[in-house]
Amino acid sequence: MKSSLIITLIVAILLISSSICLIFYTESSDDLTETQFEIVNYTNSFNDYDLSVITDNRGVRIDLTKNEEKIVSIENFSYTEKDLPGIWEETFYAKEVESIRERSDGFDLTLLTNEKVIYTNATFVEDSIWINCTRYGTKDENEMISLSFSSDCLWYGQGSLLNQTFPLRNVTLLPLEDILKRVLPEFFLPAVNGALPFLYGKTLPLVMHFAPSFIATMGLDNNLMITRPLGYNFQTPFWLSSKNFGIFLNTTLPIEYTIRNGTLNLGIENNFYSTKIILKDNPLDVYKDFVEIVGMPEKVCPQDVFKEPIWTIGSQYSTNFDQEKILDYAQKIVENGLPRSVITIDVGWQKEHGDTEFDEKRFPDPKAMVDELHSMGFKVILWMVPYISLTSSNYGEARANDYLIKDEWSNLPILIPWSFVTQIAFDVTQFNIYSAARGVTKPLCSAVIDLSNPEALDWYRNKLNKLVEEYGIDGFKCDQGEGAFLPKEESTHRKITPNEYTDLCTDLGKDFDYYEIRTGWFSQHHGGWVREYDKFSSWDQYNGLKSTVTEALTLSIIGYPYILPDAVGGGQFFEDDELDEELYIRWVEVAAFMPIMQFPSSYFQQSGESKAIAKRYMELHKELSSYIIDLAKKAKEEGLPIVRPLFFHHKDQECFLINDEYLLGEALLVAPILEKGARSREVYLPDGTWIDFWSGDKIEGGQWIDYPAQLDEIPVFVREDLVDSIQVNFDEIRVNV
């Protein structure tokens, strides 16, 4: 035991030191202010924009202006050699323009550093500019090419963050103690049992590779803060600016980025860099252009998912459930007259991860169970992952047929610590190992199905289809699959990046109508509903109640419309997560005005008043479902999200800073109570005339109002000119809810 604890301490120190070291790097030793170079000032125009190449003591930059107003500066053209990634790096900046060649659709630049040449070209395509950079020569291992986008603007997009800020510029990181307490256990717990070699191979994976592959340094004002991974679940390299432009990187390679003082710095682990700058007259049109690139949903989720809640076994039963407990749980839902669409049988229905058969001891007759659930009005979906435990009944077959991802050095199946991580929790501050409430310890590692292999993909899909055919399963909840769990040195049937693997995971269930996904890079075209990151049972912006709103807004901006804001009340993962009555009710209110609601078994642990309020809001959500379903169809046809930031439809400058209000479609403005103890809040109503959802009073927009809201009330407003699109009887709602 002592040796295990020592190993864990070493891993913690490595993580912290490597993260801190990432902010220290060596720049080219030449001082730009002392370098002799030719001053360049070249301008090329297209449409209403001017693109100017400038050299000065800051180096080389490209200024984009419109009507003499600067939109953005593209600067800090550089490449970095990472001799020891995260610890010793050397960065070389472009300081001179060797040549400029004008083309009919743009121009070419040859940029010089003190050692290498960076070829850059700008190409004008309708309302956008493609900027491509190539570092001359053969790509070195661990090389990265970078540039910055500097603008007096706010940034949105990119994807799911634990500290889900909106806009992205407003970022504060947690104290180091909280980082250790909440982040370290999830990724480095295998060290407790001496499983260090299985992390992700031969790199510092938490620093260089995570889910999907992003690392970030965020700071407030001029302070550079500790660098650590912030991105989870859904990530897409797209950033929307408050100045009516967007930045899109068409790559699945790992990306490093920082956002400080309006400057977005982006680096790609490659010697080629391609980015599209989308230029429009408003943010909504920028978004539409982006969605045309990544794709709109190919189908709409089944309508019952938008009407009535999804139910999941959740915190009460965890993995300790069986056929009898599931049927008892479902019967309680029915007996209480609760609306229902889907029941999710979560992790624990198999004997081992990767099995595609029910655990026969706990599920003696799964077909009878599914039939009975169907008779109660539930569709049934099963939890599944693209991993196979070494003790799974499917492991031998998968390995014998070469269906597993291999380590490129040993040619043996890679092993990831995923199974162990989900079963054990580790309190770093007390060095205390304890079994989590979620179940007993499982084998340390799992193998990974090689989904780039068509035969392996068909093999696994056939296993899933067999569950449908034999037991009547209606679909699946596809969990995990993030690029974080793959080493950079993996050997796959077809050469893919870890983030491409993420998208292959979402492909697994594309043929099922009922399909939940929780990770993606370029998976916007799938029609499954997307679940936000597993929420903590807290009020915090750090993955608590507040983040259900900001993450929904962010997922919408990166092109995912069918949003499930995780289970009402969160997962109660930590000892200090207290799901009291007030937090629970406020969570219910937010969920009622989201595309999809989900309730865990914790509903039955609430007080009678809380349950009554929750039931009323379930019914309200059902009343709104015709409107929500129309929005879901428009998402497929036009690419418009269901949850929208205020600035998509209103030009008021205040709208760009508001992160605790949102539009449901264009007609409803929702301003939930997100502060503990609050019984009123300030609400900003944009331009136009608004109708109070509850009283029917008319209020002129373009102003802040103080709105009272008792515990069972949520401030909601209807745009007067769109009131008919809601398709509800407001008088009945005001009486019943």
Of 185, 311, 233, residue with least CA distance to 574:
185
Distances (CA, A) of 503 to 420, 517, 525: 24, 10, 10
Q: Which residues of the chain have pLDDT under 70?
A: 1-40, 82-88, 115, 137-142, 169-232, 314-319, 418-444, 484, 488-489, 573-577, 735, 737
* Spatial distance between the Cα atoms of 162 and 165, rounded to a whole number of angstroms: 9
Q: Provide the 10 A C-beta neighbour count for residue 284.
A: 18
Q: What is the pLDDT of residue 30?
A: 38
Q: Which residue has the tokens 């980025």?
A: 257
Sort strands 26-27 and 432-435 into parallel, antiparallel or unpaired.
unpaired
Q: Provide the 10 A C-beta neighbour count for residue 199.
A: 21
pLDDT tens per residue across span 602-642: 999 999 999 999 999 999 999 999 999 999 999 999 999 99
Phi/psi at 133 (nearest 5 deg)? Answer: -125, 140
Predicted TM-score (pTM) above 0.75: yes
If you write DSSP's letter for every residue of 604-634 in order, what string do you get? Answer: GGS-HHHHHHHHHHHHHHHHTHHHHHHHHHH
Peptide bond just before 167 cis, omega within 30 deg: yes
Q: Provide the 10 A C-beta neighbour count for residue 205.
A: 20
* Spatial distance between the Cα atoms of 631 and 638, rounded to a whole number of angstroms: 10
If you write DSSP's letter for every residue of 99-148 in order, what string do you get? Answer: EEEEETTEEEEEEE-SS-EEEEEEEEETTEEEEEEEESSPPPTTEEEEEE
Q: What is the pLDDT of residue 138?
A: 53
Q: What is the pLDDT of residue 11?
A: 45
Determine the longest span between alpha carbons in the chain, in angstroms: 82
Q: What is the pLDDT of residue 39?
A: 60
- What tokens appear for 113 in the block? 């550093």
Residues β-bridged to residue 424: 435
Q: What is the CA radius of gyration of the chain?
A: 26
Q: Provide the 10 A C-beta neighbour count for residue 468.
A: 15
Q: What is the pLDDT of residue 177?
A: 34
Q: Provide the 10 A C-beta neighbour count for residue 55.
A: 20
Contact 94, 78 (CB under 8 A): yes
* Spatial distance between the Cα atoms of 39 and 60, rounded to a whole number of angstroms: 10
Distances (CA, A) of 264 to 72, 77, 120: 10, 13, 19
Sort strands 41-46 and 49-56 into parallel, antiparallel or unpaired.
antiparallel
Q: Which residue has the tokens 């630049």?
A: 109
374 half-sphere exposure, CB direction, 13 A CA radius: 10
pLDDT tens per residue across span 221-276: 222 222 233 456 898 999 999 999 999 998 888 787 778 778 888 888 788 889 99
* Spatial distance between the Cα atoms of 200 and 188, rounded to a whole number of angstroms: 11
Q: State whether residue 189 is helix, strand or coil.
A: helix
If you write DSSP's letter for every residue of 387-441 in order, what string do you get? Answer: EEETTSTTHHHHHHTT-B-EETTT-SBP-BSHHHHTTEEEETTTTEEEE-TT---
Phi/psi at 240 (nearest 5 deg)? Answer: -100, 130
* Spatial distance between the Cα atoms of 185 and 188, rounded to a whole number of angstroms: 6
* Spatial distance between the Cα atoms of 268 and 291, rounded to a whole number of angstroms: 22
Q: What is the pLDDT of residue 407?
A: 82
Q: State whether residue 249 is helix, strand or coil.
A: strand
Residues β-bridged to residue 643: 664
* Spatial distance between the Cα atoms of 290 and 247, rounded to a whole number of angstroms: 9
Phi/psi at 690 (nearest 5 deg)? Answer: -120, 150
Domains (ranges, CATH) in the chain? 31-150+245-252+270-279 (no CATH), 303-385+454-638 (3.20.20.80), 643-736 (2.60.40.1180)
Q: What is the pLDDT of residue 191?
A: 25
Contact 377, 339 (CB under 8 A): no
Q: Which run of H or E residues covers position 676?
A: none
* Spatial distance between the Cα atoms of 714 and 127, rounded to a whole number of angstroms: 41
Q: State whether residue 513 is helix, strand or coil.
A: coil
- What tokens appear for 682 in the block? 């300030």
Q: What is the pLDDT of residue 584?
A: 96
Residues 6+ apart with CB under 8 A from 700: 685, 689, 690
Q: Which residue has the tokens 């084998």?
A: 443
Q: What is the pLDDT of residue 40?
A: 67
Contact 478, 506 (CB under 8 A): yes
* Spatial distance between the Cα atoms of 649 and 180, rounded to a whole number of angstroms: 41
Residues 6+ apart with CB under 8 A from 553: 156, 166, 643, 644, 645, 659, 662
Of 192, 188, 217, residue with least CA distance to 86:
217
Sort strands 598-599 and 310-312 into parallel, antiparallel or unpaired.
parallel
Q: Which amino acid is located at 433 in the chain?
A: I
CA 238 to chain centre: 12
Q: What is the pLDDT of residue 646?
A: 98
The total number of residues written for the chain in this structure: 737
Cα torsion angle, 115, 118, 119, 122, sign: negative
